[in-house]
């Protein structure tokens, strides 16, 4: 056994995975760099207020922003530090905690893990790689897009209802040639609201119970995505298609006393969606739509059933650049008809919403967003039935980037 272990260690030390670390900026070997010089830190913080010109204090948005409505005040939406680094030629790591996670409307500012994964390249250029750990599920464009870069304050209900916090524990294969990886990076670096690198092609398996929750059955979810950005004259267009399937378990802490549900608590959870993005140079379009099936509360039977779902959104924007300042007026309309599997009783939703807003970046490190929202939401569970809320409100967000 000792000889076998020695041989295994020798093979690892002579393999391509333990090559001299590479400085990914200059692509030169970093013989003199220490381990801590290969690690970078960045982050951002967001503070919000949603009560100006509010017409209905009972209108809420549990997944989008818990500070909507009655007793909502100044609210820290995010405070994140990101630790990352290419610690060897084919090994990369990324860890992101959030220090202001909200457990409920009355319990705020808990530290919680968002991302913790490793990327293992299987070729010298890292065009083929495996991502292992807790990370974003490659489903949808806006779900992939960081909240630090997104123009609207919250992700659209139709696509974001797939995964709370957009993440889960899994293993994902990503592929993209070097030129496309550079384009993905440039779309973020140049402030064009890109999604970052999630490959041209993605295929993976994951638990299916969403982030920071244990697996509840012996059936993994499967996801596949293909997206393609391309230059058309001075414009950049990206189109994509994605799908996932699996069995979601509605746990006891997610149901009210009296709610009827399947004995196994396993429900079909599957979707397919399409994405289109015209990056704002200066006019921008971002649109997505998805259909599928998932658990949803039915008030006629007081039960959770597998039901059809559908919905999407469209965001139109215009980017003005004045020296170092960036101004982005935008409008967005969204619609969703379906359940939210991770909310109480797989709460049933019907959402119609329109918002008009503006983002102002006087410097790269600070931005201010103001948006006026007109919302029509019906959200119902065993306890909260016949609940239709309509209203409008002015929302403000200040963000720093570092």
The DSSP result for 341-369, as a single string, is: TTSGGG-EEEEEEEEEEEEEEEETTEEEE
Mean pLDDT of 139-168: 96
pLDDT the model gives residue 105: 63
Over pLDDT 90: what percentage of the chain?
83
Give pLDDT, residue 2: 41
pLDDT higher than threshold 60 for residue 60: yes
Q: Give me the torsion for CA of 155, 160, 165, 166, rounded to 10°.
A: -110
| Per-residue pLDDT tens over the stretch 253-303 | 999 999 999 999 999 999 999 999 999 999 999 999 999 999 999 999 999
Average pLDDT, the chain: 91
Q: Which of 328, 342, 329, 333 is nearest to 160 (CA)?
A: 342
Where in the chain are the domains?
42-401
Is CATH 2.40.160.10 the classification given to domain 42-401?
yes
Asked if 369 contacts 50 with a C-beta cutoff of 8 angstroms, the reply is no
384-388 own/partner pairs: CB under 8 Å, 24+ apart? 384/347, 385/299, 386/299
Which among 51, 55, 111, 121 has a CA at the least distance from the CA of 81?
A: 111
Looking at per-residue pLDDT, the higher value among 71 and 395 belongs to: 395
186: confidence class by pLDDT, cuts 50, 70, 90: very high
For 206, the token pair is 């994951």
pLDDT value of residue 106:
66
Residue 280 CA to residue 262 CA, distance in Å, equals: 47
The structure's pTM equals 0.89
Kindly state the tokens that stand for 284. 């921008």
202 contacts: CB under 8 Å, gap ≥ 6: 138, 172, 173, 174, 175, 223, 224, 225, 226
First to last CA, the chain: 50
User: Tokens 């690690």 label which residue?
Assistant: 39
> Strand (E) positions, 28-145?
28-29, 40-52, 75-88, 91-101, 110-121, 128-136
**What's phi and psi for 321, nearest 5 deg?**
-120, 125
Q: What percent of the chain has pLDDT over 70?
A: 91
From residue 119, alpha-carbon distances to 93, 171, 198, 320 in Å are: 6, 10, 11, 36
Question: Residue 373: pLDDT above 70?
Answer: yes
Residue 92 has pLDDT above 70, yes or no: yes
Chain centroid to CA 198: 12
Find out whether 197 and 176 touch, Cβ atoms under 8 Å.
yes
């Amino acid at each position: 056994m000792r000889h076998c272990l020695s041989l295994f260690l020798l093979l690892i030390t002579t393999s391509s995975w333990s090559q001299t670390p590479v400085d990914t900026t200059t692509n030169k070997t970093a013989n003199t760099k220490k381990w801590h010089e290969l690690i970078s830190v960045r982050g951002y913080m967001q503070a919000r207020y949603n009560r100006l010109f509010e017409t209905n204090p009972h209108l809420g948005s549990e997944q989008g922003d818990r500070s909507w409505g009655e007793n909502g005040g100044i609210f820290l939406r995010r405070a994140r530090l990101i630790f990352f680094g290419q610690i060897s030629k084919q090994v990369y790591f990324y860890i992101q905690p959030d220090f202001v996670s909200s457990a409920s409307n009355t319990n705020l500012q808990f530290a919680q893990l968002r991302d913790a994964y490793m990327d293992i390249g299987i070729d010298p250029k890292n065009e083929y790689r495996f991502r292992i750990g807790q990370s974003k599920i490659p489903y949808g464009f806006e779900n992939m897009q960081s909240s630090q870069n997104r123009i609207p304050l919250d992700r659209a209900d139709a696509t974001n209802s797939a995964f709370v916090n957009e993440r889960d524990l899994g293993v994902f294969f990503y592929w993209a040639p070097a030129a496309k990886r550079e384009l993905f990076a440039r779309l973020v670096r140049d402030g064009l609201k890109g999604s970052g690198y999630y490959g041209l092609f993605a295929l993976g398996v994951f638990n299916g119970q969403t982030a920071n929750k244990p697996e509840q059955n012996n059936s993994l979810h499967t996801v596949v995505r293909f997206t393609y950005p391309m230059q058309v004259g001075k414009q950049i267009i990206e189109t994509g298609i994605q799908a996932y399937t699996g069995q979601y378990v509605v746990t006891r802490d997610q149901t009210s006393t009296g709610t009827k549900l399947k004995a196994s608590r396993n429900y079909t959870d599957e979707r397919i969606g399409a994405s289109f993005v015209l990056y704002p140079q200066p006019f921008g379009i971002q649109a997505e739509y998805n259909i599928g099936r998932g658990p949803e509360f039915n008030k006629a039977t007081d039960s959770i059933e597998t039901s059809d779902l559908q919905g999407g959104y469209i965001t139109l924007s215009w980017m003005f650049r004045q020296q170092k300042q960036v101004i982005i007026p935008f409008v967005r309309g969204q619609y969703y008809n379906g359940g939210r599997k991770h909310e109480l009783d797989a709460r049933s939703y019907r959402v119609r919403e329109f918002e008009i807003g503006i983002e102002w970046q006087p410097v790269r490190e600070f931005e201010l967003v103001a948006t006026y929202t007109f919302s029509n939401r019906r959200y119902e569970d065993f306890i909260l039935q016949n609940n239709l809320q309509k209203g409008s409100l002015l929302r403000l967000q200040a963000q720093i980037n570092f």
